[in-house]
Amino acid sequence: MQSSAFSPALGKAVRLGGLVALWLLSACGGGGAGTVPATGGSPAPAPAPGLPSSDFGFLPAHFPKPFVPADNPLTPAKVELGRRLFYDTRLSGNGTQSCGTCHLQSRAFTDGLSNSTGSTGSVHPRNSQSLTNIAYNITFNWGDPSLRTLEVQNATPIVNTNPVELGVNEGNRATVLGRFKADADYVRRFAEVFPGEADPVTLPNIAKALATFSRTLISYRAPFDRFEAGDASALSDSAKRGLALFESERLECNACHGGFNFSDSSRVSGVEEPVFHNTGLYNITNLDGSGNNYPAQNQGVFEITGNVNDKGKMRAPTLRNIALTAPYNHDGSVATLSEVIDNYARGGRLVTSPLTRFGDGRTNVNKDGEIHGFTLSAAEKADLIAFLESLTDTAFTTDPAFSNPFP
């Protein structure tokens, strides 16, 4: 349940993740995943490394094991509880949506929309992010350097108010929790997963179970992975040429999308610092002639730090299953992989319509230095797309372990 939410009304110095954690702790009597400072300007310290779980022995050699927090150990029962909660519409205030509403397994846990719509009709300003390999993320959210744990992240869309996602609030919280307390199967499962607690059906425990299920959403069975394991026939000749282009000095795609997870925002040791990039997607010109702006409510890390140099900086998502997760970019404004490649080849997107977003991204002064542009023939572009398509893991998108358990 990867919200990309933020709350401009609270002021650019307020960090939503910390407020959510504090709200949960005060509303539910503690037991949450911890709190973070409620003021911006500097990222929160990295969380302590978790415990490598012995339950990930199935991963191939080129994959590290995800880190699991010591205060939220992974157990099969907790995974199953999290899976059920993920797909249960009773977790929303009005009982109409679940986490799975905006994160469809068939689309690598995205929803195919430019902007998702919450349970009350509130439209999200950002694109629903893929949950593919979310266990490895250094940060969660498109542009928040402070949101560093899956536990806090999974609490966020439950109670977020701007925009409303699942729509749980102080007025309906007891009703929402009561739905699960009245279900004998859930009562049994919560008691098993959180033994010794007099009242284990709490929002912090729900967030922990959801985080645990999310950690199992690991994509590692794509054709590329078989190729990486030594099966030369797993990739077509076109995809192999595309891989060479992807890693070439001419394109340097792997500068931001490198490593086993094709993202420089992927955790390996558990202590990596967050990385964000301005890709020249926008360069809105203001009435006074100044530029370098991104659309309101979509200005990335700037909304957290208030630093003008952070305008437009977003997290580089994993490219795994990228062929399934259109539309692209943080606001879903790019429809196809072909268009994404064209924007990078140009060295920044030219926006001519609507006029409120007019501007040439190539000249955005905050644009990352890696976005330098390149030339690409039609055949080379087809090869690059063939490689990106080789990152599609159909076993992941059809695995019953990740599917909706309810008929």
User: CATH topology for 223-394?
Assistant: Cytochrome Bc1 Complex; Chain D, domain 2 (1.10.760)
Mapped onto helix, strand or coil, the DSSP state of residue 358 is coil
Q: How far apart are CA 367 and CA 41, in angstroms?
A: 21
Report pLDDT digits (tens) over 146-201. Answer: 999 999 999 999 999 989 999 999 999 999 999 999 999 999 999 999 999 999 99
219-239: burial string, b at 16+ Cβ within 10 Å, e else? bbebbbbbbbeeeeebbeebb
Q: What is the pLDDT of residue 75?
A: 94
Q: How far apart are CA 68 and CA 135, in angstroms?
A: 8
Closest to 18 measured CA to CA, from 46, 37, 4: 37
Q: What is the pLDDT of residue 289?
A: 61
Q: What is the pLDDT of residue 354?
A: 87
Q: What is the pLDDT of residue 373?
A: 96
Residue 183: CB atoms within 10 A of its CB come to 16
Q: What is the pLDDT of residue 44?
A: 41
Q: Which amino acid is at 393?
A: D
User: CATH topology for 8-219?
Assistant: Cytochrome Bc1 Complex; Chain D, domain 2 (1.10.760)
Q: How far apart are CA 144 and CA 107, in angstroms?
A: 24
Q: Is 286 in contact with 364 (CB distance < 8 Å)?
A: no
Helices 378-389 and 337-346 sit at what angle, rounded to 10 degrees? 130
The parts of the chain modelled with pLDDT lower than 70 are 1-54, 287-290
Q: What is the pLDDT of residue 271?
A: 76
Domains of the chain by residue range: 8-219, 223-394
Q: How far apart are CA 216 and CA 401, in angstroms?
A: 9
Q: What is the pLDDT of residue 22?
A: 35
Q: What is the pLDDT of residue 11?
A: 29
Whose tokens are 């439950």? That residue is: 158
Q: Is 15 in contact with 40 (CB distance < 8 Å)?
A: yes
Q: Do domains 8-219 and 223-394 have the same CATH topology?
A: yes
Q: Give me 407's structure tokens.
A: 């008929």
Q: How far apart are CA 15 and CA 62, in angstroms?
A: 35
Q: What is the pLDDT of residue 51?
A: 62
